[in-house]
């Protein structure tokens, strides 16, 4: 049974919000909507959304933390907790946080997740700014 991804995962305003070539707002559907939702969760700070003050992972709190395995573990835990709470369309399989080889004041978080409705495996990477190594 092949279902429409938009019907399975929904449709939402594209992120970042933008206007398409047709002059209308761009919408994200299906797997793209889920991926963009994950990015929004991870990039949002708690208290940033007035009606959902607890929403978001709050990864900016690590900005002045050292780029160490202990900090990486805290980031990993924060990502796992936030996605478990705010994105029911995915099941997180793993979160790996490592120092960015190209940028000493950043870490790279690689999230492997499974889309609940189809069991399709996806991967997303995100840079997290940190302090000194």
pLDDT, tens digit (0-9, with 9 covering 90-100), for 2-39: 566 555 566 666 666 678 788 887 766 677 788 889 99
Q: How far is CA 69 from CA 31, 32, 38, 103, 107, in A?
A: 31, 31, 23, 16, 10
Least confident stretch, 16-25, 51-60, 80-89: 16-25
pTM over 0.75: yes
Give all domains of the chain, ordered by start, each with its CATH number: 5-129 (3.10.450.40)
Rounded to whole angstroms, how far apart are CA atoms 73 and 66?
A: 12
Residue tagged 């160490």 (tokens): 68
């Amino acid at each position: 049974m092949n279902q429409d991804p938009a019907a399975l995962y929904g449709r939402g305003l594209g992120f970042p919000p933008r206007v398409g070539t047709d002059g209308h707002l761009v919408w994200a559907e299906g797997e793209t909507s889920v991926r963009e939702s994950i990015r929004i969760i991870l990039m949002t700070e708690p208290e940033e959304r007035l009606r959902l003050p607890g929403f978001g992972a709050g990864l900016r709190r690590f900005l002045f933390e050292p780029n160490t395995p202990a900090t990486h573990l805290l980031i990993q835990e924060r990502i796992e907790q936030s996605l478990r709470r705010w994105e029911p369309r995915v099941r997180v399989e793993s979160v790996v946080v490592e120092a960015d080889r190209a940028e000493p004041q950043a870490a790279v978080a690689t999230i492997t997740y499974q889309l609940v409705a189809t069991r399709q495996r996806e991967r997303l990477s995100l840079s997290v700014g940190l302090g000194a190594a």
